Amino acid sequence: MKIGIVGLGLIGGSVAKAYKTFGNIVYGFDTDTTILGYAKLSGTIDDLLTSDKYKECELIVLAATPKAMIAYLQENAMSIPATTTVIDFCGIKEKICEVGFRLAKEHGFTFIGGHPMAGSQYSGFKHSRPTLFKGASMIIVPPVYDDMELLEKIKQLLAPLEFKTFVVTTAEHHDRMIAYTSQMCHIVSNAFVKSPAAREHEGYSAGSFRDLTRVARLNETMWTELFLDNKKPLLEELDLIIYSLQQYREALEQNDNIRLCNLLREGRIAKEQSEG
């Protein structure tokens, strides 16, 4: 199989390495010519992804920020043939799917929204690895939801990434869930380490500290764009957690052990219920 990858950071680089592991031909593009050159020199990609290569590609993966990938699609959609499937791996879906579905309909290719539930606190091509997606969940936002042949084709195209499960949903539901399961985690972690005590944690911290602070190390430029593009559901989740934290604060301030114990019990039960 021949595939094209736009964006060779952590996600795009890992996609390229996974496909190369299974002997596929990979074309790549990145605005950073240094990364592009290294990817080619290291054998991660076979050649540059240019418009004349589109006709060779069964699959093109868009693996940069939504804003950049929307611009890329708008500039190149007319050159993508009907035989090519385009899947974006961006962190939000509504904005890029709106553009992607429209352009695909206008120009005849297939566009699929996608989001692999895999990543790292580290960014960039140097941290990419071929097994990043192995065993992970892949969220799919197709243009229609009853085309089983299309869904099976997507699974086959993405087989080298070794996803364990595929979840089919709408762009709106994806963005609402991601506001909670991903974006809120990054905000809470990032805010938590701003305490002066974080600089003195050595010898006083264990697993809970490491788990909570892992994703505080983030790409602030990318996450700023993702947060603002998903503003409404993210604000709703922020309001919920601010309200909850205020309940704990009031119980502590008032030495209300019964209320505090009840709040903690509610949280424990909510965790147990979320695990089925």
Give the domain CATH number at 110. 3.40.50.720
CB atoms within 10 A of CB 178: 21
User: Please, are residues 267 and 245 in contact by the beta-carbon 8 Å criterion?
Assistant: no
Do 49 and 92 belong to one domain? yes
User: Please, are residues 1 and 58 in contact by the beta-carbon 8 Å criterion?
Assistant: yes
Do 24 and 155 belong to one domain? yes
Do 242 and 202 belong to one domain? yes
Do 156 and 196 belong to one domain? no
CA-nearest of 39, 105, 41, 119 to 73 is 105
- Final residue of a structural domain among 133, 148, 169: 169
3-state helix, strand, coil in the chain (%, to 5): 60, 15, 30
Q: β-pairing, 47-48 with 59-62? A: unpaired
- The b/e string for 104-139 (b: 16+ C-beta within 10 A; e otherwise) is beebebbbbbbbbbbbbeebebeebebebbeebebb
Strand partners, 48: 28
Do 164 and 45 belong to one domain? yes
Confidence of residue 39 (pLDDT cuts 50, 70, 90): very high
Average pLDDT score over residue span 193-218: 92
Residue 276 has pLDDT above 80, yes or no: no
CATH number at residue 251: 1.10.3660.10
pLDDT tens-digit profile of 96-112? Answer: 999 999 999 999 999 99
Q: Residue 263: its pLDDT value, please?
A: 97
Do 179 and 86 belong to one domain? no
Average pLDDT score over residue span 51-75: 96
- Final residue of a structural domain among 169, 191, 219: 169
For residue 35, give both structure tokens: 């990364």
Q: Residue 145: its pLDDT value, please?
A: 85
Do 79 and 40 belong to one domain? yes
- Final residue of a structural domain among 169, 191, 211: 169
Average pLDDT score over residue span 138-145: 94
Residue 121 has pLDDT above 80, yes or no: no
Structural element, H or E, at residue 168:
strand 165-168
Q: Residue 119: its pLDDT value, please?
A: 79
Tally the domains of the chain.
2
Residue 146 has pLDDT above 90, yes or no: no
pLDDT tens-digit profile of 241-273? Answer: 999 999 999 999 999 999 999 999 999 999 999
Confidence of residue 68 (pLDDT cuts 50, 70, 90): very high
Do 213 and 157 belong to one domain? no
Q: Where are the beta strands (DSSP E) in 39-109?
A: 47-48, 59-62, 85-88
Q: Residue 120: its pLDDT value, please?
A: 78
Range of the domain at 243: 174-274
Do 211 and 130 belong to one domain? no
For residue 6, give both structure tokens: 């736009």
Do 145 and 107 belong to one domain? yes
Measured distance CA(203)–CA(225) in Å, rounded: 36
Do 59 and 139 belong to one domain? yes
Higher pLDDT, 144 or 234: 234
CA-nearest of 146, 138, 135, 134 to 167 is 138
Residue 168 has pLDDT above 80, yes or no: yes
Do 149 and 190 belong to one domain? no
CA-nearest of 153, 155, 159 to 134 is 159
Measured distance CA(119)–CA(10) in Å, rounded: 8
CA-nearest of 194, 197, 190 to 212 is 190
